[in-house]
């Protein structure tokens, strides 16, 4: 039985189809005081061996919904509750950056662990975040799927990551595409919305560029990279990421920087979610 959080309904349906498992009818309500209720009335009458709760924790509400759906699955008598976090919110807060700060990724991982037997999460910012869970947790690499929507006629492409940490994603996308070089920029984060990028010496003039990252959040990183590549005479600049958060005016920033196309997966359901990670998750389940 697949049970979807409200932010992961399309992926939940794809996963149910890929696994040939029933998709629960979930209702999402909000009480007048603002509290949420995510429930699946009727499921209790069916035999549920394994409940797979699929919920990207893109907001505080999504976190609460997830905890409620895990709890409901236990109430129905599911023998095993598996939690799929297509996108794990707070994963980037994986250390206490200043004295007195929490390790937020650990805090949410502990809460999620209390309602499940196993966790899968797609391309977390660092795989080590899985160690924060108190049940078996594994990272799922879906980056190879990002090659699917790219044009087939890329001209001597360079798959570039805007920082060294995402170079493995760039290499995975290049390998899946089947041609091209990899490269990376140096990045220094100045604030939540400001970054400083230092380009490499690679001559990109006349070449098609594919900038890859795990997530586009505010779009500051990607729009900065696109701007630099256009200044250096690149031909077309595409951006692709696993988690297209695209918060606030990220799409505008990317458009102003001269991006040719934006592609992401359905770990976060957005208009640019061109590829589904359902098959990768189905294999792991
Ligand atoms: C950080 O290292 C990540 O890989 C992303 O580069 C970053 O989180 C993107 O954030 P933003 O879109 O706000 O620049």
From the list 106, 187, 236, 253, the catalytic residue is 187
Region 263-279: mean pLDDT is 98
Reported as a single tens digit per residue, the pLDDT across 62-90 is 999 999 999 999 999 999 999 999 999 99
Helix/strand/coil for 204:
coil
Task: Return the pLDDT at 211.
Answer: 98
Active site residue 187: yes
Residue 42 reports pLDDT greater than 90: no
Compute how many other C-beta atoms are within 10 angstroms of the C-beta atom of residue 226.
Answer: 27
Q: How many CA atoms lie within 13 A of 88 on its CB side?
A: 35
Q: Is the CB of 94 inside a 6 Å radius of any atom of ligand 1?
A: no
CA of 105 to the centre of ligand 1 (A): 16
Outline where DSSP puts E strands in 131-277: 137-140, 158-161, 181-184, 186-189, 195-198, 209-216, 237-244, 261-265, 273-275
Mean pLDDT of the chain: 96
CA 262 distance to own-chain centroid: 15
Task: Return the pLDDT at 43.
Answer: 80
Indicate the pLDDT class of residue 47, thresholds 50, 70 and 90. confident
Options 3.40.50.2020, 3.10.105.10, 3.40.430.10, 3.40.50.300; CATH of 2-141+278-284: 3.40.50.2020
For the chain, the domains span 2-141+278-284, 144-266
DSSP annotation of 170: H
Q: Is the CB of 219 inside a 6 Å radius of any atom of ligand 1?
A: yes
Task: Return the pLDDT at 145.
Answer: 97
pTM of the model: 0.96
With the most atoms of ligand 1 within 8 angstroms of its CB, the residue from 213, 244, 272 to mutate is 213
Reported as a single tens digit per residue, the pLDDT across 198-241 is 999 999 999 999 999 999 999 999 999 999 999 999 999 999 99
Asked if 159 and 139 touch (Cβ cutoff 8 Å), the reply is no
Nearest to 3 by CA among 35, 48, 60, 36: 48
Residue 45 reports pLDDT greater than 80: no
Reported as a single tens digit per residue, the pLDDT across 83-141 is 999 999 999 999 999 999 999 999 999 999 999 999 999 999 999 999 999 999 999 99
CA of 216 to the centre of ligand 1 (A): 6
Of 3-17, 31-45, 57-71, the range with the lowest mean pLDDT is 31-45
Q: What is the C-alpha to C-alpha distance for residues 112 and 132, in angstroms, rounded to an integer?
A: 10
Region 42-66: mean pLDDT is 92
Asked if 230 and 258 touch (Cβ cutoff 8 Å), the reply is yes
DSSP string, 172-188: HHHHHHT--EEEE-EEE
Asked if 121 and 137 touch (Cβ cutoff 8 Å), the reply is yes
Ligand 1 atom closest to 250 (CA): 12
CATH number of the 144-266 domain: 3.40.50.2020
DSSP annotation of 201: S
Q: What is the C-alpha to C-alpha distance for residues 64 and 10, in angstroms, rounded to an integer?
A: 19
Task: Return the pLDDT at 52.
Answer: 98
Residue 48 reports pLDDT greater than 90: no
Asked if 66 and 53 touch (Cβ cutoff 8 Å), the reply is yes
Asked if 273 and 133 touch (Cβ cutoff 8 Å), the reply is no
């Amino acid at each position: 039985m697949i049970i979807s959080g409200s932010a992961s309904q399309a992926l939940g349906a794809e996963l149910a189809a890929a696994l040939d498992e029933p998709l629960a009818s979930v209702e999402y309500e909000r009480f007048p005081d603002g509290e949420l209720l995510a429930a699946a009335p009727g499921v209790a009458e069916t035999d549920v061996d394994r409940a797979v709760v699929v919920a990207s924790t893109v907001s505080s509400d999504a976190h609460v919904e997830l905890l409620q759906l895990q709890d409901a699955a236990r109430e129905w008598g599911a023998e095993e509750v598996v939690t799929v976090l297509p996108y794990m919110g707070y994963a980037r807060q994986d250390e206490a950056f200043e004295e007195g700060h929490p390790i937020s990724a650990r805090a949410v991982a502990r809460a999620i662990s209390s309602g499940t037997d196993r966790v899968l999460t797609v391309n977390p910012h660092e795989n080590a975040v899985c160690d924060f869970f108190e049940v078996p947790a594994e990272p799922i690499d879906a980056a190879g799927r990002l090659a699917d929507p790219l044009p087939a006629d890329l001209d001597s492409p360079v798959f570039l990551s805007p920082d060294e940490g995402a170079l493995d994603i760039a290499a995975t996308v290049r390998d899946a595409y089947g041609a091209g070089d990899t490269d990376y920029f140096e990045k220094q984060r100045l604030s939540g919305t400001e970054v400083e990028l230092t380009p490499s010496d690679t001559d990109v003039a006349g070449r098609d560029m594919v900038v890859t990252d795990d997530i586009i959040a505010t779009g500051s990183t990607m729009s900065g990279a696109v701007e630099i590549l256009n200044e250096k005479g690149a031909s077309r600049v595409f951006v692709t990421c696993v988690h297209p958060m695209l918060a606030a005016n990220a799409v505008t920033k990317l458009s102003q920087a001269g991006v040719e196309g934006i592609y992401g997966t359905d770990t976060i359901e957005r208009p640019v979610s061109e590829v589904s990670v359902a098959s990768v998750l189905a294999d792991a389940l």
